[in-house]
């Protein structure tokens, strides 16, 4: 749990702040984020919708990330964890703080991003226009800035429920200029009505990082929560700037581990077994290819750990049921 929560003094409200009625709680998780924070702060402080509070949940960064947030002013609440609790638990800490403060909606937002001054307004308009429970913007790569990273998304049932980013890696030529209902969005940027967390619950902290958003979005989908892509809201993502990219040892391990955990947790046993066999065969075949051997071994270890994680969660659930009798 967080060791310290502090609200920063000093920054004057804009004249429009008191007149805006919809309060957004912006939740962002920090870990060695100092290099990306100046652009993040600039985007936040340029917003035309000013009724928001930023909950900066710092996972024991050693680069002064928390101090940078604490210096920003009245829009910022800094929550300092004594150790790195991961993205899922960090988000949960911020979500709880925003709910306790009476925020009308909660914006889960990466800090390795930049966005235009109208983004909060466009997202709020999308909530109202579509009577949506959640909305997400058009997300571009920061470099090149006209390449789509995610224009909404879905789950691919044929590949083990891996998330699909619509338009990922293609140049924007106007093909995504219409709003639509979707079933998945990464929590890089998603605005959620506060009541949704009461229906769906918080994020599963066992994931630590990766697949935590897929798990939560899948649970939201099953609960009948509506999610819309809003094309007029735009954001640019510095992909991989804080995790080392898709091929880092960290990403390979947690990607395989958490995919296995997701499948055993959320998919029926037969389907989970089929995916276990299919991916296991694929990884074993890759062990025979010298150039792929190292990555395949890491994925196999991650997959085994994910299965152990699931079994541990089942044991914990059973103990909880027994203790409640």
Distance from chain centroid for Cα 286: 30
For 106, 134, 153, 189, 245, the CA distances from 183, given in Å and listed in that order, are 19, 10, 6, 15, 25
Kindly report, residue by residue over 46-74, the tens digit of the pLDDT.
Answer: 999 999 999 999 999 999 999 999 999 88
CB-based contact 279:325 (threshold 8 Å): no
- The secondary element (H helix, E strand) that includes residue 193 is strand 189-193
Mean pLDDT of 184-201: 97
pLDDT mean across residues, the chain: 91
What is the value of pTM for the model shown?
0.89
What's the gap between Cα 127 and its chain centre?
Answer: 19
Note the pLDDT of residue 127: 96
Look at residue 300 and tell me whether its pLDDT is greater than 80.
Answer: yes
pLDDT given for residue 247 in this prediction = 74
Long-range contacts of 263-268 (CB under 8 A, 24+ apart): 263/160, 263/161, 264/306, 264/307, 264/310, 265/204, 265/215, 265/310, 265/313, 266/161, 266/215, 266/218, 266/219, 267/161
Choose between 18 and 302: higher pLDDT.
302
Strands 162-165 and 148-150: unpaired
Mean pLDDT of 212-241: 95
How many angstroms separate the CA atoms of 246 and 310, rounded? 23
Count CB atoms within 10 A of the CB of residue 218. Answer: 21
CB atoms within 10 A of CB 128: 10
Residue 173's pLDDT is 94
| DSSP labels, 139-184 | EEESSSTTBEEESSEEEEGGGTSEEEETTTTSB-SSTT-S-EEESB
Asked whether residue 102 carries a pLDDT value surpassing 50, the answer given is yes
Q: What is the pLDDT of residues 261-295, one digit of tens each?
A: 999 999 998 999 999 999 999 999 999 999 999 99
Evaluate if residue 251 carries a pLDDT over 80: yes
CB atoms within 10 A of CB 251: 17
* Distance from C-alpha of 211 to C-alpha of 315, rounded to nearest angstrom: 21
C-alpha distances in Å from residue 150, one per residue of 17, 101, 167, 230, 282: 31, 31, 6, 12, 27
Domains and CATH numbers, the chain: 2-237 (3.90.550.60), 249-324 (no CATH)
Q: How confident is the model at residue 212 (pLDDT cuts 50, 70, 90)?
A: very high
Residue 227 confidence class, pLDDT cut points 50, 70, 90: very high
84 phi and psi angles, rounded to 5 deg: -75, 110
**What pLDDT does 11 receive?**
33
Instruction: Tell me phi and psi for residue 43, to 5 degrees.
Output: -65, -45
Q: What is the pLDDT of residues 130-176, one digit of tens each?
A: 999 999 999 999 999 999 999 999 999 999 999 999 999 999 999 99
């Amino acid at each position: 749990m967080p060791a310290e929560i502090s609200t920063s003094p000093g920054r004057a409200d804009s004249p429009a702040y008191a007149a805006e009625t919809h309060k957004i709680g912006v939740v962002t998780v920090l870990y060695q984020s100092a290099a990306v924070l100046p652009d993040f702060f600039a985007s936040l402080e340029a917003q035309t919708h000013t009724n928001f509070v930023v909950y900066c949940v710092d996972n024991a960064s050693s680069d002064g990330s928390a101090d940078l947030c604490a210096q920003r002013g009245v829009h910022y609440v800094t929550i300092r964890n004594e150790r790195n609790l991961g993205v899922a638990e960090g988000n949960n800490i911020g979500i709880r703080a925003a709910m306790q403060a009476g925020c009308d909606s909660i914006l889960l937002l990466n800090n390795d991003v930049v966005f235009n001054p109208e983004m909060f307004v466009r997202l709020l308009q999308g909530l109202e226009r579509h009577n949506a429970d959640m909305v997400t913007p058009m997300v571009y790569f920061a470099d090149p800035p006209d390449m789509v990273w995610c224009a909404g998304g879905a789950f691919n049932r044929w590949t083990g429920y891996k998330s699909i980013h619509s338009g990922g890696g293609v140049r924007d030529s106007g093909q995504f200029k219409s709003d639509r209902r979707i079933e998945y969005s990464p929590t890089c940027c998603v605005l959620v009505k506060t009541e949704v967390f009461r229906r769906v619950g918080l994020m599963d902290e066992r994931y630590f990082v990766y697949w935590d958003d897929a798990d939560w979005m899948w649970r939201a989908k099953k609960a009948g929560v509506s999610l819309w892509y809003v094309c007029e809201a735009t954001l640019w993502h510095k992909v991989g700037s804080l995790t080392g990219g898709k091929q880092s040892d960290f990403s390979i391990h947690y990607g395989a581990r958490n995919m296995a955990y997701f499948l055993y947790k959320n998919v029926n046993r037969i389907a989970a077994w089929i995916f276990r066999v299919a991916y296991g065969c694929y990884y074993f075949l890759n062990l025979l290819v010298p150039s792929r051997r190292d990555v395949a071994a890491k994925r196999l270890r991650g997959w085994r750990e994910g299965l152990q994680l699931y079994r541990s969660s089942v044991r914990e659930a059973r103990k909880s049921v027994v203790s409640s009798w």
